[in-house]
Amino acid sequence: MTAVATDLLPRVRDFIAGDRPMLIGGEWVWAESGRTFETIDPATARPITSVAHGDAADVDRAVRAARQAFDDGPWSRMKPNERERLIWRVGDLLTERAAEFGQLEALDNGKAATIATAVDTAWSADIFRYNAGLATKITGSTVNVSMPFVPGGEFHAYTLREPVGVCGLIVPWNFPLLMAAFKLAPALAAGNTVILKPAEQTPLTALLLGEIFTEAGFPPGVVNIVTGYGEAGAALAAHEDVDKIAFTGSTEVGKKIVEAAKGNLKKVSLELGGKSPNIVFADADFEKAVAGSVAAWMFNHGQCCVAGTRLYVERPIFDDFTAAVAEAASQAKIGPGLDPATELGPLVSQEQFDRVSGYLSAGLADGARALTGGKRWGDEGFFIEPTVFVDVEPSFSIVQEEIFGPVVAALPFDADTGVAAAANDSIYGLAAGIWTQDLSKAHKTARQIKAGSVWVNQYNGFDTAMPFGGYKQSGWGRELGGAAIDLYTQTKAVNVAL
Ligand code: NAD
């Protein structure tokens, strides 16, 4: 372990003081291979600590533990209100220890600790509480059947909503704790047992969350956490005794999950990539739209699946608006996540830094003009200057492909030709922003956009109660809200001849 920061909370310092094992069957264990791997502080490119390097053998162990807990363990006999109390307790413990989670996330991911505490951790706690409430509200229905081939028969027919079984949850590095909460909370509320596979870049908050599940009193094997690389995720996706995979990550890996899942036709839900349009009409509230449009692509350093990275601005205000966006972006305070003043932290890894740098070069080579940014910031860590590109063509890679960095491409549009066709010109359909003071224009445009979430006069208008997911190649299924319970339950039809 290398010392990375001096002002860490004592519990965070203790947590990274030694290598971290993973959670299988209620025990903290090492990989069967004995291997570990380092997790890196992206602000310095130095190691924070090492974690167990789980692979297919460890995934198999975790699946067996989850299977036993589902089939034979106390979990399957617990009443909904007992599950409710345990899940609620996770929310409370997350709230009590929010500063710890915030610091650890900042260290591992690079995001500002203030945001990791106030947004990632607080929202995760809210998601656990919301789903705790849903545990007691999962219902089937009675069905008034006709049974025309059984004249004179009498029947009592009803449906049961039952858990799917053993669920593999695979999450990315951009919101490590939050993406885990999106999946864990409804999966557990519905009565499933789980194996969580955090991203290799950011395994630490998942392991700290494992401590919370143990402290809350979850029976052994209900929540298992296997740290590892893509091979561990692939083993989970292909495992014959896993009933469902819930995946958040790239569209490319999402397609591999679908392929791997076909062996036992396990259920699959996918939250994948995006290249979301953010549309500003000339009648928008200029100041609000500038601030919101900057946040749309710069929040989390652009490492958001929903990032509004295609900025469509109505032509009469295009030059003024993009200049104001560039000016506001250039003011962002860049620094390490542990600095309370930081607004824009480093990208998560060397790989991500190289990838985003490649898009900056490609944009400039294609002929785009950077109003601000366009290069690395500083000479240590994985920092990129926030970058606003204009003079772009729809065919440029910076307009078509997900960059996952603080980079936006701005394009003008004309009122008479409209904007919907351009906004929908993407393989993705995750989210969109619309800025206008004309109510009718807002609602009409919202209907025209092919995306799972549309936010009007705001961006990132998420709420725990609102379903979230993608159109087109942005995914299958909806997380959050009551919709998430559908992902983790299956319906049984029972028909009784009386
Ligand atoms: P990624 O697809 O490379 O990795 C995601 C997870 O999948 C990691 O845990 C990784 O270890 C695992 N994995 C890698 N190869 C695998 C395989 N063959 N089989 C099974 N698991 C495998 O994605 P990333 O780079 O970590 O995250 C960025 C991507 O996630 C972006 O494309 C982003 O848009 C997407 N994302 C989507 C949402 C959403 O809700 N739609 C939210 C956050 C991130």
| Model confidence pLDDT, tens digit, residues 57-71 | 999 999 999 999 999
Who's near 379: CB < 8 A, 6+ residues apart?
none
The residues, ordered by sequence, that sit 6+ positions from 163 with a Cβ below 8 Å of its Cβ are 70, 190, 191, 192, 488, 489, 490
Q: What percent of the chain has pLDDT over 90?
A: 95
Is this prediction's pTM over 0.85? yes
CB 454 within 8 A of CB 306: no
- Mean pLDDT of the 393-414 span: 97
Average pLDDT over residues 109-125: 96
Ligand 1 pocket by Cβ (under 6 Å): 170-174, 179, 197, 199-200, 229-230, 233-234, 237, 248-250, 253, 256-257, 271-274, 305, 402, 404, 430, 470, 474-475
Model pLDDT, residue 76: 84
Give the domain 10-272+475-495 fold.
Aldehyde Dehydrogenase; Chain A, domain 1 (3.40.605)
Residue among 496, 460, 473 at smallest CA distance from 278: 460
User: How far does residue 23's CA lie from ligand 1's centre (Å)?
Assistant: 21
- The residues that are catalytic are 271
Comparing 10-272+475-495 with 277-456, is the CATH topology the same?
A: no
User: What value does the mean pLDDT take over residues 40-66?
Assistant: 97
Atom 9, ligand 1: residue with shortest CA distance = 199
What's the gap in Å between 253 CA and the centre of ligand 1? 6
Ligand 1, atom nearest to 170 Cα: 9
Q: C-alpha distances in angstroms, 461 versus 171, 219, 290, 467, 471? A: 21, 36, 16, 11, 17
Architecture of domain 277-456: 3-Layer(aba) Sandwich (3.40)
Listed by start position, the domains of the chain span 10-272+475-495, 277-456
Residue 96 alpha carbon to ligand 1 centre in Å = 29
Asked if pLDDT for residue 4 goes beyond 80, the answer is no
